[in-house]
Chains A and B, each alone.
Chain A
Amino acid sequence: GENVEQHPSTLSVQEGDSAVIKCTYSDSASNYFPWYKQELGKGPQLIIDIRSNVGEKKDQRIAVTLNKTAKHFSLHITETQPEDSAVYFCAASKNSPYALNFGKGTSLLVTP
């Protein structure tokens, strides 16, 4: 089955710096790659996603890049703010809703 590896497991950055989280996947048939943000005491929430026919997608300070050849995708957060502090999860899927495979998460801390 699909295996999604996520790195790093923890990341600490200064406010205003950029943060990058990387995920690799094993199944070349995967074609949907969402990212979720989980704040303390809450459920994960979708923040951005990308499909395999696109190489990059941006939404304000957040961007996701996809390299299908290398089978990895990354989340980029620019101009980080303390409210970006949370756990971030990547996931990969290949048109099978129940086969949305999650990475183990990255705990991001943005210090003022």
Chain B
Amino acid sequence: NAGVTQTPKFRVLKTGQSMTLLCAQDMNHEYMYWYRQDPGMGLRLIHYSVGEGTTAKGEVPDGYNVSRLKKQNFLLGLESAAPSQTSVYFCRTGNTEAFFGQGTRLTVV
């Protein structure tokens, strides 16, 4: 039982490049979320999904897109990466309770 798995764990991008972060869960949760964590800022919600085929904006959605084509997967995309998107990204699943992945450390140079 892997729980919540994020790939990749680390990535360095050049400004303007694109990439997709994958979150996969095997807990059959309806709700999935993407957060970013920055020093002194805590966890800020980027986008979330309440079920397969649905997505919604969170607190800091600009510069990101998401898709939930399958219930078990939630993808976070950066179309044109900017240095301000350097952060640690966490996927979360669960309704009121929260189960987090191990994080993806992204650096945009």
The chain A residue with its CB closest to the CB of B42 is A104
Query: Whole-angstrom distance from the CB of B5 to the nearest CB of chain A?
Result: 11
B interface size (C-beta, 8 A): 23
When distances are taken between beta carbons in the complex, the residues of chain A under 8 Å from B94 are 97
Contact indicator B50/A43 (Cβ below 8 Å): no
A interface size (C-beta, 8 A): 23
One of B13-21, B60-68, B76-84, B97-105 at the interface: B97-105
By Cβ-Cβ distance, the 6 closest A-B pairs, closest first, are A43-B100, A104-B42, A97-B95, A102-B43, A98-B48, A97-B31
Contacts A9-B40, A98-B56 supplied; 20 other A-B pairs, CB < 8 Å? A34-B97, A34-B98, A36-B100, A41-B102, A43-B100, A43-B102, A43-B103, A44-B43, A44-B90, A45-B100, A46-B98, A46-B99, A97-B50, A97-B96, A98-B33, A98-B45, A102-B42, A102-B43, A103-B42, A104-B42
